[in-house]
Chain A
Amino acid sequence: MQSTYEKSIENKAYQHKKFPVKKTLIYVVLIIFALVNAYPILWMVINSFKSEQEFANNQFGFPKEFVIENYISAWETANLGTLFSNSIFICLTATFLTVLIGAVTSYFLSRFTFKLNKAVYTFFIFGMLIPIHATLVPMFILMRNIGLLNTPITLIFPYIAFHLPITIFILTSFMKAFPKDIEESAIMDGCGIFRIFWSIILPMSRPALATVLILNFIYNWNEFSFALVLINDPNLQTLPLGLASFAGQFTTNYGAQMAGLTMSLIPIIAFYLLLEKEIVKGMTAGAVKG
């Protein structure tokens, strides 16, 4: 909601005669962009209500009758209830741990000068270049050797390890941009190193923190390969595995699959909406200006 005050400022800012044309153009571009982006989701939701027979005959239009059973059968046959709670637990734990230890590390890498700084940073960046499928067999053997196969926390470790690099990369580049004098004044006030991190650097990094939280959540929520090879117990599996189970060797139950995918999208969109405002809210008043 915009206040009238804001609106008046806005009008002042764009007071030239080109204004309506330009604004229309912006809207046209944005609406095309939105349509192209929304189409697959709409298609998914619409088809999640179609019976198998109707899906076979009509993939474009609206269903003749809405089949709610897809949702029920998807939920039951794929054991989605259990998988949802497993996924939420693993996802949240891994995401918050990654961002927490990633943020601390980034803080030291970006705000301190020490001998191995560059080396450590570069070393972390290497992690962004590792193709995940190359590590499946070694990771399986490693987890077997340390007895971490098939436990509720198994997946948390590789998830943290594989997403720390991108987290540190984004956070470090963001934190580096802060002016040098912030800490100086804080140190004058007698703040400790970790205190500065917690009450100054972290709040200032909100947009970047929100970005990496969202990124981590998406990666972990959709992660398939590690979940496939490291977990056997059906009660410990995560959602992506359940969603793959609608496809057989020669047949696929598309209706149930689309219903499952639609349901699995809800938490991730909720998480995004929860954090998105942090990305665009801007910096806390007066913390950094110029």
Chain B
Amino acid sequence: MHATRNKTIAITVGILPALIIYLIFAILPILQSFYYSLMEWDGFSAMQYVGLDNFKALFQDPLFWNSLKNNIYVVLASVLGQVPIALFIALLLNRKIKGLKLFRTIGFLPVVLSTVVISITWSLIYNSENGLINELLRTIGLDFLAQNWLGDSKWSMIAVLVTVIWQFVGLYLIIFLAALQNVPEEVLEAARIDGASEWKTTWSITIPMIWDTIIVAVILCISGSLKTFDLIYVMTNGGPAHSTDVMALYMFNETFNQLQYGYGSAVSVIIFFFSLILIYTVTKLLGKKMI
């Protein structure tokens, strides 16, 4: 009895600081924002209660659906691009090779780099007239493949997605590298002695052992992708002609440029619940209950 009470006290004392800060400075503001979603408000005048009108308007706005569609592309590209590439590189780096540390550090660099630099340099690479990609294609005689990558609404989303994938591979790389340290060398050694190829040990031993971490990465990917803002904001600001608009960007523009705080908040409510549903579904599918 005594021990349980001590335990309860310890748990309470341990969790309370995090819970309090989190409640006040994260939950409270977002609840406030949810509340705004029921209002019509331009940020200057008095608020007016409009019930679910903002949501009704939202669901009828083709620009919202457009941003949702693009956002789903970002989620897919991140989950199917970032995670496998990061895992692959992590496996390559998880061995004793020369220059290991250098490769690891360089691999991580895009994560810390300013989005301004990423945006400028990738825009230079994509430039239709003298960009690296088109120059390369022209040099090897594939002129017809050269495109106006960021300037043509058919290609702009693809171009942005490649950059998005590139930007965050390093993040998952270090998460996977950390997890790979948990795979005991002896087990792999034993498998090798039994004659298993590296391919096989990776598939049947390493990957299952870090499966939980892969799920963690996928969840981070989904939640991060649905909030994605910074890079697209500076790189295309949703353009040309809304072809790279995503939900957070749409919300930002509605709120701060069009002065529709209520409407913008309604978008944030959708982002929140959409992520929730997506993560719940994915974790069910991948066989682990994270939520």
Interface residues of A (CB under 8 A from B): 2, 6, 10, 13, 23, 26-27, 29-30, 33-34, 36-41, 43-44, 59-60, 101-102, 104-105, 107-109, 112, 114, 120, 122, 124-135, 137-139, 141-142, 157-158, 160-162, 164-166, 168-170, 173-174, 176-177, 193-194, 207-208, 210-211, 214-215, 218, 221-222, 224, 243, 257-258, 261, 264-265, 268-269, 272-273, 276, 279-283, 288-290
Do A108 and B170 have beta carbons less than 8 Å apart?
no
Do B25 and A162 have beta carbons less than 8 Å apart?
yes
Chain A residues with Cβ below 8 Å from B184 are 289-290
From A2, A129, A177, A265, contact of B182 by CB (8 A):
A177
Interface residues of B (CB under 8 A from A): 6-8, 10-11, 14-15, 17-19, 21-22, 24-30, 32-33, 36, 43, 89, 92-93, 96-97, 99, 101-114, 116-118, 120-122, 124, 166, 170-171, 174-175, 177-179, 181-182, 184, 186-187, 189, 192, 212-213, 216, 219-220, 223, 226-227, 229-230, 247-248, 251-252, 255, 261, 264-265, 267-268, 271-272, 275-276, 279, 290-291
Query: Other than the known A33-B89, A134-B264, A279-B174, what 12 A-B pairs have Cβ atoms closer than 8 Å?
Result: A26-B92, A33-B107, A34-B106, A104-B17, A104-B18, A131-B227, A131-B271, A160-B25, A174-B179, A210-B178, A222-B114, A280-B178
From A114, A221, A276, contact of B104 by CB (8 A):
A276
Q: Secondary structure at chain A's binding surface: helix, strand, loop or mixed? A: helix
Chain A residues with Cβ below 8 Å from B111 are 218
Do B30 and A37 have beta carbons less than 8 Å apart?
no
For A125, the closest partner residue in chain B by CB is B291
A276 to B109, CA, bound (A): 12
Do B18 and A10 have beta carbons less than 8 Å apart?
no
A132 to B227, CA, bound (A): 8
Do A59 and B114 have beta carbons less than 8 Å apart?
no
From B21, B223, B264, contact of A101 by CB (8 A):
B21
From A122, A133, A161, contact of B291 by CB (8 A):
A122
A12 to B186, CA, bound (A): 15
Chain B residues with Cβ below 8 Å from A166 are 220
Q: How far does the Cβ of B243 sit from chain A's closest Cβ, in whole Å? A: 21
Between A and B, 22 residue pairs with Cβ closer than 8 Å are A30-B89, A41-B109, A104-B18, A105-B15, A105-B18, A108-B10, A112-B7, A114-B8, A129-B271, A129-B279, A133-B255, A134-B271, A161-B24, A161-B25, A173-B290, A194-B14, A218-B112, A257-B116, A269-B112, A279-B178, A288-B182, A289-B184
A162 to B27, CA, bound (A): 9
Q: How far does the Cβ of A19 sit from chain B's closest Cβ, in whole Å? A: 11
Chain A residues with Cβ below 8 Å from B109 are 37-38, 41, 269
For B249, the closest partner residue in chain A by CB is A133
A279 to B175, CA, bound (A): 9
Do A261 and B248 have beta carbons less than 8 Å apart?
no
A138 to B271, CA, bound (A): 17
Chain B residues with Cβ below 8 Å from A131 are 226-227, 229, 247-248, 251, 268, 271-272
Do B103 and A30 have beta carbons less than 8 Å apart?
yes
A59 to B291, CA, bound (A): 48
For B89, the closest partner residue in chain A by CB is A33
Q: How far does the Cβ of A200 sit from chain B's closest Cβ, in whole Å? A: 15
Chain B residues with Cβ below 8 Å from A38 are 106, 109
Q: Decide yes or no: A34 and B107 within 8 Å by CB, A13-B192, A112-B7, A258-B117 being known contacts.
A: yes
